[in-house]
Amino acid sequence: MIAQARTVDALVEHATILESVPKADLRSGDRILVETENSLYSIAVLEDSSYAISGGWFDRQGVSPARIAIVGCTWGGSAVKRDVVAALGLRLEFGNRVVTTRIREVRLIRGLPPETARFRVLRARDLFAACYGGDAHLS
C-alpha cells in the first residue's frame, strides 16, 4: 500500500487505516519503543509534550537521551502526518530533521498517572539503613 501512495488522495486514504500512536493519546511518563528497519528507539513522553529520545541515530552520535520534538511520520517524501508519534510502515521524523527508515514495530508502554504514584517520606537514617543494611551507622 505504501508504494502506491503517490498522490495526495492516496496519502489521505492511507492515513485513515494506519496503525499508529497518536500524539493526543500520550501522557507524561508514557514510553514508546519503535523498531525501524535499522534501529531501535526508546521515546519517553515528557511533561511539556516534548520527548526524550534514545537509540538509533542518537546513540550513534553519542547524544542519548536527547530532548527533542517529534515532527511526525512521513511516507518518504515531504508530506508529514504531524498528529502521530509513530505509524507502522512510515518513517519517523524528529525535530532535528533526522528521518528514520520504515517503522516495523511500535510498542506503547503506559506510565503511571501522577496521582497514582505513592511515595513514602523517609528519614535519612531509614534511607541509609535501607541502602547499606540495618546495622550501618551514619557518621
Show the domain range for 51.
2-113
Label residue 3 by pLDDT band (50, 70, 90).
very low
For 74-113, what is each residue's pLDDT tens digit?
A: 888 777 888 899 999 999 999 888 999 999 999 999 986 5
Looking at the domain assignment, is residue 133 inside a domain?
A: no
* pLDDT band with cut points at 50, 70 and 90 for residue 48: confident
Is 16 among the domain residues?
yes
User: pLDDT value at position 114?
Assistant: 53
Within a domain: residue 60? Answer: yes
**Residue 119 is which amino acid?**
F
- Total count of domains within the chain: 1
Instruction: Kindly indicate the confidence band of residue 19, based on its pLDDT and cuts at 50, 70 and 90.
Output: confident
Residues contacting 101, CB < 8 A, separation 6+: 36, 37, 38, 39, 91
